[in-house]
Amino acid sequence: MGLPFNFDKLNCTNEVRWLIIDEDKVNMRKICSKYLPLFAGGLFLSMLITSCKKDYAPTPVTGTPGKVATLGLYEVDSGVYKRVFIMITKVGTQSVSYPLVFDTGSAGMTIDATGILPASMITNSGIKIPGDSVTVNGITVTTQEAVISYGDSQSEIQEYGNLAYTTMTIGDQNGNVKTSRIPIFLYYKIVNLQTGQKQPAHSNDVFGVGPGVSYANNAIESPLSYFKFSGGATSGFKLAMFNNAGFSVNGTYVSDLLTIGLVPADIGSSSDFVMHPLTYSSQGGYSPDIAATISYNGQNVMATILFDTGTPAISIIANSKAKSNISSLPDNTAVTLTTSNGFKYSYTTGSANNLTQVALPSYTGDPRTIFSIDFFTENEFLMNYKSHMIGLKNN
């Protein structure tokens, strides 16, 4: 997801108001599992205890949405970070109103148990579960636990929780779809390891739509991947270009940004999307990383790129020949990326948009180049879960 964040939802009308608290370094981001074992999609799995005796296989989603559905997202700009949120308005039988970071760089949904489970079930040491599992408010919480760490060595935060299964309503009064019973990660505590302080409830709710599986539990995948379609549609989603003018401190609802389900025109031979087959790994499943070349200041850098809506501020070019650990490209620097399958995108760095840093992988611990949310304001993005491909399209 990139950066941990904290926010309090102040209002939920057609204009959603948010407070985003800046407490973490801008250059924190996802860590590549290939180079740091058990790292993936920004989430570092430091412990996984599996003690559940039953097999809680999810019930496939059938008929809902059934056909292609389109939802809006909320665009938020704190002045430092840009975020895109998707609303969750029902978990199990519990009506809620929680914004989750829409994240192409991780797989699986993670949400705080506060306000979803009875307060009496949530303790500082765990969720009270008699026996192998417990079902309350239509949510089955298992005894499969995980501790997930994210951040960097200077600002590491751990999230503690359990594998759970539930139905959900994705979206709000502006448009929504319902799922059948799917797996999620339900956390009960977040701790800042540097201060030892617990973080606010719901301060790291994430809607991870990347390929592959969650490192919290390999039963968890993108919530969108569980939808089944009729009429020739394919499992996946498409993002329209984010509206750069729509990002605001108060938050702006932008309709029709997310299309759930792909039609032949999206993925067929006549499609304008440049498709990129994804690589499978035994750890984490299919990777969202794409091979490319990055050109800037007369340099051509071979790169592995993550296109990440969850990185909210600065794109990072990994360059093993960089002259310093990390530095910012000056304003008006021209940057061009060309993927192995021929997608090409050029931009110019600025003081407000397209901020870009160059970093030594040995310093960051991540060999990948990560393009932030700014990429999505000028390009369309497609995820094909069935064929394990990412499609890119610029305008």
Residue 394 or residue 66, greater confidence? 394
334 CB neighbour count, 10 Å cutoff: 12
Residue 228 or residue 29, greater confidence? 228
Given this model, what pLDDT does residue 67 score? 65
6-226 topology per CATH: Cathepsin D, subunit A; domain 1 (2.40.70)
Whole-model pTM: value is 0.84
User: At 6, is the pLDDT very low, low, confident or very high (cuts 50, 70, 90)?
Assistant: very low
d(CA 117, CA 165): 13
What's the pLDDT tens digit per position in 347-394?
Answer: 999 988 899 999 999 988 889 999 999 999 999 999 999 999 999 999
Given this model, what pLDDT does residue 55 score? 37
* In the predicted structure, residue 268 carries a pLDDT above the cut 90: no
Given this model, what pLDDT does residue 155 score? 59
Given this model, what pLDDT does residue 208 score? 93
Say if domain 285-394 classifies as CATH 3.50.50.60: no
Same CATH fold, 285-394 and 6-226?
A: yes
Given this model, what pLDDT does residue 15 score? 31
3-class state of residue 379 by DSSP: strand
In sequence order, what are the beta bridge partners of 186? Answer: 111, 162
What's the pLDDT tens digit per position in 209-267?
Answer: 999 998 788 899 999 999 988 778 999 999 999 998 899 998 999 999 999 999 999 99
d(CA 65, CA 63): 6
111 CB neighbour count, 10 Å cutoff: 25
Domain ranges for the chain: 6-226, 285-394
d(CA 103, CA 108): 9
